[in-house]
Structures are given as structure tokens and as C-alpha cells.
Amino acid sequence: MDDELRRVAGALAAADTAVAFTGAGVSTASGVPSFRGEDGIWRTEFDPDDFRVGRFEADPSGFWRDRLRLHEAMFPGEVEPNAAHEALARLEDEGHLDAVVTQNTDGLHAAAGSERVLELHGSNARVVCRGCGSREDAEPIRERVRDGELPPRCECGGVYKPDVVLFGEMLPEGVLAEARRLAADSDVFLAVGSSLTVEPAASLPRLAAADGTLVLVNLEETPCSDRADFEFRADATEVLPALSAELRG
């Protein structure tokens, strides 16, 4: 691994544009379960079909009841950034990374100090009213759901929805367009902790690999493994700090 790390560090040092693309695997060390990895919540406790936008629209009360259970399973307590998040924030701070494009909704990249974070799938920290479009902090609304307000409603009477992209929903257009541009422009694209199975997010590493260096860091094989220039089948909390240390020399 050391020689490959040195070569990736060299590519990052020489890159004009470098992007990190992350999935649930960067947050598992913070205690947040993944979806499809070992012990992933889609494999153990929850059915992703219960969280489709069609289910929300047909049965908002049942959706919110299940969504609260999912939230409490994913975030049993306060979660903190881990060494993988912190290494990416250092890489940005030291000029070796232009942005983090994340599928995660846990806010841990910003909490670790990353400044340019594109949240492709939205944020667990907010809810949005389906009537007037207003956005509010999510925790007080989750509290109201715990107290039996099903579904939680805005003052305008509209139903609140978690401000995350549900299966069957479009991604925020501007964010996706910027992420696509970054991927296309990137000289180095680090895809970390993602099974790379959910579109259109999973198209970004393929776009980057067209004429840039694609680096995968994932415990398991991914559909992009055959086109990666480098693949670390290892823990992100080991590889990313080692990469950051290599760049510091």
C-alpha cells in the first residue's frame, strides 16, 4: 500500500483540481451504520422501499413513524467526525482538495472543517415544507413526531418532509450540475466509502475516470473497481490520514 499511497499523493500534489466523493463508509467509524455494507441497515433492519417519495406522498404519517425509527437507528446519540473526515478537511485546508461531494446527510464533513461540501442527497439537519417550501431545523420537528404529531405540519398547513433526497426524487439540480462539472474537471477523484450503486451519484466516478485519475477507498469491491487507477480495499480511517501524512512529507 505504501508505494500506491506515495503515487496517489504525488498525483494529488500535481493536480490542478482534486475532488473527494464520499458515501456512508466514511461515517461508520463515527457510529453511523452504512446502508449496504456489512451490518448495513438496508440489510438488517429497514426496507428502503418504505422510504420512497411515493410512500411519503401516499402515507406521510406512516412514513414519518418509520423515518423517526430509521433516524434513531442511524444516530443513536451525538455523532462526531472521525479521522477520515478530518483528513479530508486537512487536504482541503492544505490546498490538495477543492471540494467534497457527499451522498451523506449527516453533516460530518462540515463539522470536521471541510468548507466546500456539496450535499447531493440533502441534509438530515433540516426539514422542508411541501406546501410553502420553508426550511426548518429537523430536531424540533422530530420531537413533535415523537410526541405524536403525525404527520408534522408547517404553520401554512403543508406537510414537512425531511430535507433529504428520497428514492424516486430528483437530486437538487444546481448541486448535481456543479458536482458533474467538478468530476469532469478533476485530475484526481477520490471515491471513498461508497458502494457506488445509487444513480445519478454513482455516475460521477465514471465521469471522472474518463480522463482523470480515479482512486477508490472502500472495504468492498465496487462497480467502478475495474476502471480505477488505484484501489485501496481498506478502511478510510487508515488510508486518508496516511495520504494526508504523505502529502505533508
- Active site residues per annotation: 121
Of 155-163, 169-177, 179-187, 235-243, which part binds ligand APR (CB under 6 A)? 235-243
> How many residues line the site for ligand APR (CB under 6 A)?
24
Among 39, 137, 143, 220, binds ligand APR (CB under 6 A): 220
Q: Is 24 in the site for ligand APR (CB under 6 A)?
A: yes
Q: Least distance (Å) from ligand APR to the CB of residue 5?
A: 15
Question: What is the spatial distance between Cα 61 and Cα 129, in angstroms, rounded to a whole number?
Answer: 15
Question: What is the spatial distance between Cα 233 and Cα 75, in angstroms, rounded to a whole number?
Answer: 26
Q: Is 213 in the site for ligand APR (CB under 6 A)?
A: no
Q: Is 193 in the site for ligand APR (CB under 6 A)?
A: yes
Of 13-21, 28-36, 133-141, 241-249, which part binds ligand APR (CB under 6 A)? 28-36
Contacts of 199 (CB under 8 A, 6+ apart): none
Count the alpha carbons within 13 Å of 90 in the hemisphere toward its beta carbon: 16
Picking from 85, 75, 84, the residue whose alpha carbon sits closest to that of residue 110 is 85
Among 28, 114, 123, 186, binds ligand APR (CB under 6 A): 28
C-alpha cell at 212: 482523470
Q: Which is nearer to ligand APR, 98 or 119 (CB)?
A: 119
Q: Is 46 in the site for ligand APR (CB under 6 A)?
A: no
Q: Is 47 in the site for ligand APR (CB under 6 A)?
A: no
CA distances from 197 to 90, 193, 204, 206, 223 (A): 28, 12, 11, 12, 7
Which stretch of DSSP H or E encloses residue 96? none
Binding to ligand APR (CB under 6 A): which residues in 125-184? none
Q: Is 17 in the site for ligand APR (CB under 6 A)?
A: no
Of 22-30, 60-68, 107-115, 169-177, which part binds ligand APR (CB under 6 A)? 22-30
Q: Which is nearer to ligand APR, 24 or 208 (CB)?
A: 24
C-alpha cell at 68: 423517526
Picking from 54, 59, 60, the residue whose alpha carbon sits closest to that of residue 154 is 60
Q: Is 237 in the site for ligand APR (CB under 6 A)?
A: yes
Picking from 46, 20, 51, the residue whose alpha carbon sits closest to that of residue 34 is 46
Q: Is 123 in the site for ligand APR (CB under 6 A)?
A: no
CB neighbour class for 206 (10 Å; exposed up to 12, middle 13-18, buried from 19): middle
Residues forming contacts to ligand APR in the complex (CB under 6 A) are: 23-25, 28-29, 34-37, 40, 103, 121, 193-195, 197-198, 217-220, 235-237
